[in-house]
Amino acid sequence: MANRFENKCAVITGAAHGIGAATARLIAREGGSVIAADIDEEGLAALCKDPDGSIVAARCDVLKTADIEAAVQQCAETFGGVDIVFSNAGASGPSSTVEDASDDDLDRMMHMHLRAALAAIRAAVPHMRARGGGSVVLTTSVSGMRQGYAPVLYSLSKGSLIQLAEIAAVELARDMIRVNCVCPGFVPTAIFARSMGFTEKTSEKFARRLDDPAKAAQPLPRACKPDDIAEAVAYLASDAGSFVTGQTLTVDGGLSLTPGPGDTRSVYAPIMSALGLDPNAVEPGPAVWSKLGLDKKK
């Protein structure tokens, strides 16, 4: 178990924080070599100081295909190959409805999630084929499986990843390249805080205050941690999951077994209620950051 990624080389996008950082640390700690790709160079620098493994930073904006291709190529040149790709970078997007969603916002969400994942797969396949196989894991969401858990554009883009994984799994199976999705529920990380309008820096502080509200959002009475998702990714990426492909592994504490909020305007209702705030608010306002002792703009 301790060396399940020995001699394995991985590329992880969205690696500077949260699920991506937890997965990078886990793979490196268990013998793997990791290219940690992210647009946040400061976060990457902190991650690469981890003493427990080999992690190398690659600045990568997943809205730029060339950046994704460069990160994959960097893995091949630095470590000698590519065995694992974890396409994890993402953003929550605006809290629009079907009626008021804009074309520009739709294009951005699909680009950031679907197009970026496809670019990562496309870049990695020749390297994986040369090594006799590989594993691709895509981060989707319960909102990509059922309506009501996130704003519409985020949900659409995450749902498209499940279809991509199934199609790619069939097309690449003969090359022993497996493609799967990991499907988190509510993980109190900075991406959730940013969806509520907080800045990058304040989002990290805000996320740490969401553990108690998270417990109320699903049947298992504890908050999900990035490490919970990292362990699921590790299973799918490792030899333990060698006969698993085209699947979506849901890791949500039972969230998807419960009735969803019902519409995208009610996405934040369980969290708002747990914070003692108006659950009918379209988006959290100043009362949220005031209650949590935070200034949204700092």
CATH number at residue 251: 3.40.50.720
Residue 12 DSSP SS3: strand
Whether 241 and 138 share a structural domain: yes
Residue 116 lies in a domain: yes
One of 149, 154, 235, 268 is an active-site residue; which one? 154
Active site residue 154: yes
Whether 181 and 193 share a structural domain: no
pLDDT in tens, the chain (298 residues): 578 999 999 999 999 989 999 999 999 999 999 999 999 999 999 999 876 779 999 999 999 999 999 999 999 999 999 999 999 998 877 778 888 889 999 999 999 999 999 999 999 999 999 999 999 999 999 888 877 677 788 889 999 999 999 999 999 999 999 999 999 988 877 666 665 555 566 666 666 667 777 777 788 888 889 999 999 999 999 999 999 999 999 999 988 887 765 554 454 555 555 445 455 544 444 444 444 444 444 4
Whether 114 and 194 share a structural domain: no
Whether 87 and 211 share a structural domain: no
Whether 136 and 213 share a structural domain: no
Residue 1 lies in a domain: no
Whether 138 and 284 share a structural domain: no
Whether 206 and 231 share a structural domain: no
Residue 118 lies in a domain: yes
Domain count along the chain: 2
Q: Which range marks the domain in which residue 214 is found? A: 189-221+268-298
